[in-house]
Amino acid sequence: MSDSRHRQLSRIYDQPIETDDDARAAINRDPGILAAALFLEAVESDDVTSIETGRRYMEDRLAFLGGVVSGSAAAVREHFNQRVSAWAEPPDFAPRTNSNVSSG
C-alpha cells in the first residue's frame, strides 16, 4: 500500500486498496460505505458537536482523500447528509404512562 489513504480505505471497504485507481473504483462502486464510515467517525469525534461541525468534519476528510474521491464526492456528501440531518429532528418520545400503578 502506498499511502495512509489507501490503508484507511482498505479498512473501510474491507478489501485490498493499493492504488488510487483501486480507491476510486471502490468509492465509485458504493459511496454510501465511505459516507457511513465518515459519519461514524464524526459521531465519535469530540470536535463534532452539531450538524455544521459534522459537515465540516466530512469536508475535511474528503479533502484529505483528495482526488480518489472527487468523482463520487457529491454522492458521499448526499449519503452523509442524510445521516447527519437526523440530528436536527427532535426525538419522538411518547408521553409516559404507567397503567400498572393503582391510585389508592
Q: Report if residue 77 sits inside a domain.
A: yes
Residue 41 lies in a domain: yes
What total of structural domains would you count in the chain?
Answer: 1
List, for residues 32-76, the tens digit of each pLDDT value. Answer: 999 999 999 999 999 999 999 999 999 999 999 999 998 999 999
State the number of CA atoms in the 13 A half-sphere of 82 facing the CB.
9
The interaxial angle of helices 20-29 and 31-44, nearest 10 deg, is 90
Buried b (16+ CB within 10 A) or exposed e, 13-37: beeebeebebbbebbeeebbbbbbb
Rg (Cα) of the chain, in Å, rounded? 19
Tell me what percent of the residues of the chain surpass a pLDDT of 70. 85
Q: What is the pTM of this model?
A: 0.82
d(CA 71, CA 2): 21
Q: Which residue has the cell 464526492?
A: 73
Parent domain of 55: 4-87
Q: Is 104 domain-assigned?
A: no
Q: How far, in Å, CA of 86 to CA of 55, rounded?
A: 13
Residue 26 in any domain: the answer is yes
Does the residue 94 lie in any domain? Answer: no
